[in-house]
Structure 1
Amino acid sequence: MTAQASLSFDATTFRRTLGMFATGIAVITARDRHGNPVGLTISSFNSVSLAPPLVVWSLANDSTLRETLEACEHYAINVLAADQEDISNRFASRTGDRFAGLRWEEGLGGAPLLEGCCAVFEVRNSQRLPGGDHVVFISEVIRCDRSEQAPLVFFNGQYRQLAPR
């Protein structure tokens, strides 16, 4: 009997249940081998270690940017602010120039640092591990910065904003 055969739930139930865990939204940005800026939206981002400073995120094995991001020495993790839902949608799309009209500056390795984010992590591509239908990236944080802006939050399949207590 395989592990899959013994599950008491299906993929849809699993995904919907995971959706009950509120997450921030980030955009991974880098340069491809031709020097062009590339990026994609993620919600699977977390800290691993403070010493050394490590973060983790995952990417679908069939992502069109997988090979590019595996080959990058450096990339940036741009944590989106509450007013950046449009940027999340733009980088989640598989079509169009994701950087058209956006303001950004160059970070380590030329990785684009998006303007207006509530946090940014400039990282070194440290380790990659297989994780089922995803690859897990462990990244060493070289530089980080934050603002006082509230983050964009994703919960139960929808964008949300934090409410004061």
Structure 2
Amino acid sequence: MDRTHEDSLTERYRELSDDIAAAVAVVSAKRGNALHAITVDSFLDVSYDPPTMAVSVYGGSRMMETLEMSEHYAISLLNSSQRDISERLGASGQPLYGSLKGIDTFPAPHSGQPVLTDAIAWFELRTTQMLEVATHSLVVGEVVSVGAGAHSSKDKPLLRWRKAYGTMGPR
């Protein structure tokens, strides 16, 4: 296969994969005493028994280094009013320390990992496996605790589609 075909395939893949609507979440973990977090839209529930989830994280990122050092992490599902948080934590080159400064969090019950207070739902996970896949790592975790935000029955999820933000209709 010549490189021209590979380049066009990659570009076409990027274009069409943006047509996959995805919920937006924050993955967070402690690194020492510092709280670290990034925005993700590549996560999924893997199994209900035992409850298991996975998240895709760029392999060379500081967040991946943090996840490699931590036995636990949290996933906080953002609501439609949290676009500013998504953009802030999704910016490249953000500092390792202080990324959650000014964002209301609380410690997850088992490990103390930071959970966003106003998240629609949150999941605390114990890492069970890390798989390197191309440029990313899939971080698989068994869910050890869950919860929902105070307004989760009324909140709408923050979604990404075609490089833009949106949400769904009434619940």
TM-score by length of 2: 0.87
Deviation, structure 1 residue 9: 3.8
Q: Deviations over 1:129-154 (max 9, x none)?
A: 11111111111001112322211000
Instruction: Please tell me whether the aligned partners of residues 156 and 170 of structure 2 are also in contact (alpha carbons under 8 angstroms).
Output: no
Distance 1:46 1:109, change over 3 A: same
Q: Deviations over 1:51-96 (max 9, x none)?
A: 0111111111121221211221111100100100011011112335
Q: Distance in 2 between matches of 1:114 and 1:8?
A: 39
The corresponding residue for 1:11 is: 10
The corresponding residue for 1:46 is: 44
The corresponding residue for 2:116 is: 114
What is the identity percentage for the equivalent residue pairs of Structure 1 and Structure 2?
30
Q: Which runs of 5+ in 1 are unaligned?
A: none
Does residue 161 in structure 1 map to residue 167 in structure 2? Answer: yes
- Amino acid of the structure 2 residue aligned with 1:51: D
Q: Which runs of 5+ in 2 are unaligned?
A: none
Instruction: Give the SS at the match of 1:14.
Output: helix
State how 1:115-130 maps to structure 2 within 5 Å: 115-130=117-132
The corresponding residue for 1:137 is: 139
Q: Deviations over 1:107-159 (max 9, x none)?
A: 13221111111110011011011111111111100111232221100001100
Q: Distance in 2 between matches of 1:11 and 1:162?
A: 30
Deviation, structure 1 residue 164: 4.0
Deviation, structure 1 residue 102: 1.5
Q: Distance in 1 between matches of 2:76 and 2:7?
A: 37
TM-score by length of 1: 0.90
Which residue of the other structure, out of 49, 54, 57, is the alignment partner of 2:55? 57
The corresponding residue for 1:29 is: 28
**Count of residue pairs the alignment pairs up:** 163
Q: Distance in 1 between matches of 2:82 and 2:23?
A: 12
RMSD of aligned alpha carbons = 2.0
The corresponding residue for 1:98 is: 99
Which residue of the other structure, out of 63, 71, 74, is the alignment partner of 1:73? 71
The corresponding residue for 1:85 is: 83
- Amino acid of the structure 2 residue aligned with 1:158: A
